[in-house]
Structure 1
Amino acid sequence: MTGLSGRLGVLAAAALLVSHGAASAALPEAVRAMIDAAIATGDEGKVRTVAELARVANPADVAEIDAMLAEFETAVAARKQAEAEAKLAKIRSAGLFDNWSGKGEFGAFRATGNSSNTGITTGLAVSRKGIAWRHNLTGRVDYQRANGVTTREQFLARYEPNVKISDRFYAYALAQYERDRFQGFSGRYAISGGIGYQALKKDDVQLALKVGPAYRVTDFVDGRVESRIAGLIGVDFDWSITDRLKLTQDTNAVAEAGGSAIAIIDSRNTTLDLITGLNATISSKLTARFSYAIEYDSNPPPGAVQTDTLTRVTLVYDF
């Protein structure tokens, strides 16, 4: 009896091993092919979705499915790291004229305030992004001439470098030149430096604030010159409403890349530039833009009014 019991125990163990082996059969070829096809697309979301469905349909093969997913994720992580290292190496070795990008803008404007007319507007902005540094150059011209008389002539040039301090904070510097004889000054120069803070940093919404002291010199058309210590407050806002429609408030953008809000405040005269706009993407390189700008001086020269408005309709080309 003891020998019979031993033989029966061996047979039961063998049956259990056979049963376990059947439960641990290799992943079906059709399922493996489906996962491999998803991996071939390189789409991480698609691969994870297919793997999850495969786990539900093949609970006995979860370990093998997880191994395939882990292998894919390891390869993706290695590729991303290699791309990031290559990008950093390219930035470090870039020359002075490398890694610049920009936007060119052309269209029409309608002005009210110190002048009431319609004319052409053009703008250019270029930027260069490094590992910690970013350089932004902006230029804008509004011009109108009728019956041999110039009725609108406004120029703006701005250079703003900034350097990242942390993930949220950065330090900025600003040098700006303006000319608008119809507002009463032949030249207005401002320099500033201070701290910026990235309050929102999401894929569809971004908000940055900056503040710092400023120094401004104004050459008036009547020959007077004023120099004053001031303060600067800036707001940059971007909201991607859809893939093709964006509301933007960005002080570094080309000539009303959407909207901007900058205030320079001193004891005698506060200047506020508030620009709101809407960008509609036409193609990967071309954007249609509508913007509305308010330019306010609390203490304008004699004969000038405090508030000017500018409505612009333009096309913007990225390069």
Structure 2
Amino acid sequence: MKHALMLAALATPLVALAEEPQPSFTGEAELGATITTGNTKTTSVKGRVDMRHNIMDWDNQYLLEGLFKEDEDIRTAENYRGLLQGNYRFTPTNYMFINLTHEVDKFAGFDSKTTGAAGYGHRFFEQGSTILDVEIGPGVQSIKYSEPNDMRETDWVAHGVLNFATDISENATFKQIFVVDAGKKVTGRSETSVSASLIGALAMKVALVVKYDSEPQPTFEKTDTETNVTLLYKF
């Protein structure tokens, strides 16, 4: 009897540990490339890694993406973007968020743009595969320009995000993400995508990215668009 009680005492913490939800990682990696040689020399590469880490009441996101284009040995596009975000859920539909985004894109009229924000998020709708999340809160945005004289602008902004996703068939998913930062000027990013499963965890993805700047540098347009076709792997 004494030995049985000792074994039970030793087993209790192990059982509790087994029952406790374990941290989990999920994510997506995508890659698309076009390379031509001969009469026409063109190189285009698009890559992206988006990971989610769920632990206790925290839902964390780590995203890194880049685009590179070169025509006839002349670079025509090069941008990189990283995002870190943590969501603390205090109910199934309500959460507080904090994030940091850094973007490098000299072909958009600036060297780098960094935005940090925190605020409140709410899931307005969830049914099956369909979700609609909205986030809003204050933030700070800092933009560095190479001309004139490495000028840097820093401004308070109102940060807003709309995130919608739904399955449009058994094998296809539609996603729409809007991000807006409004201060002395307004910058925004929209990504509309459709992905279709090919085999197993591999899918084909088509995405349209629209970037907006209400007050761009001279000679630059207010709106940039980017269309990508990539292979997507879910893990």
Which category of TM-score, normalised to the shorter sequence, fits these structures? 0.7 to 0.9
Question: How far did 1:131 drift?
Answer: 2.4
Match for residue 151 of structure 2 among 204, 207, 224: 224
From the superposition, tell whether residues 265 and 87 of structure 1 become closer, same or farther in structure 2 (CA, over 3 Å): farther
Partner letter of residue 186 of structure 2?
A: T
Where in structure 2 are the equivalents of 1:1-319 lying within 5 Å? 89-91=20-22, 99-108=24-33, 119-222=44-147, 223-249=150-176, 260-267=177-184, 269-319=185-235
1:88–1:131 contact (8 Å) kept in structure 2: no
From the superposition, tell whether residues 88 and 298 of structure 1 become closer, same or farther in structure 2 (CA, over 3 Å): farther
Q: Deviations over 1:236-270 (max 9, x none)?
A: 10111111111112xxxxxxxxxx11001112x10
The two structures have a TM-score, normalised by structure 2, of 0.85
Question: How far did 1:129 drift?
Answer: 0.7
**3-state SS, counterpart of residue 234 of structure 1:** strand
Task: Provide the residue aligned with 2:7 in structure 1.
Answer: none
Question: How far did 1:231 drift?
Answer: 0.7
In 2, the alpha carbon distance for the partners of 1:318 and 1:176 equals: 23
**3-state SS, counterpart of residue 303 of structure 1:** coil
In 2, the alpha carbon distance for the partners of 1:202 and 1:311 equals: 30
From the superposition, tell whether residues 206 and 119 of structure 1 become closer, same or farther in structure 2 (CA, over 3 Å): same
In 1, the alpha carbon distance for the partners of 2:118 and 2:47 equals: 27
Unaligned runs of 5+ in 2: 1-15, 35-41
As a proportion of its length, which structure holds more strand?
Answer: 2
Structure whose alpha-carbon radius of gyration is higher: 1
Q: Deviations over 1:125-164 (max 9, x none)?
A: 1111122101100011000123332211011000001110
As a proportion of its length, which structure holds more helix?
Answer: 1
In 1, the alpha carbon distance for the partners of 2:197 and 2:155 equals: 42
1:271–1:296 contact (8 Å) kept in structure 2: yes
Q: Deviations over 1:259-285 (max 9, x none)?
A: x11001112x10111111111111331
Partner letter of residue 174 of structure 2?
A: L
Question: How far did 1:88 drift?
Answer: 5.2
Partner letter of residue 49 of structure 2?
A: L
Partner letter of residue 231 of structure 1?
A: A
Two-structure CA RMSD over aligned residues (Å): 1.8
Higher mean alpha-carbon deviation, 223-232 vs 282-291, is at 282-291
Matched length: 211
From the superposition, tell whether residues 234 and 162 of structure 1 become closer, same or farther in structure 2 (CA, over 3 Å): same
Percent identity over paired residues: 20
The two structures have a TM-score, normalised by structure 1, of 0.63
**3-state SS, counterpart of residue 182 of structure 1:** helix
After the TM superposition, which segments of 4 or more aligned residues of structure 1 sit over 3 Å from their partners?
85-88
2:196–2:203 contact (8 Å) kept in structure 1: yes
1:108–1:312 contact (8 Å) kept in structure 2: no
1:204–1:241 contact (8 Å) kept in structure 2: no
Unaligned runs of 5+ in 1: 1-84, 110-116, 250-259
Q: Deviations over 1:165-211 (max 9, x none)?
A: 11210000010100110111111111000000000111131100000
Q: Deviations over 1:103-124 (max 9, x none)?
A: 1100159xxxxxxx97221111
In 1, the alpha carbon distance for the partners of 2:26 and 2:138 equals: 29
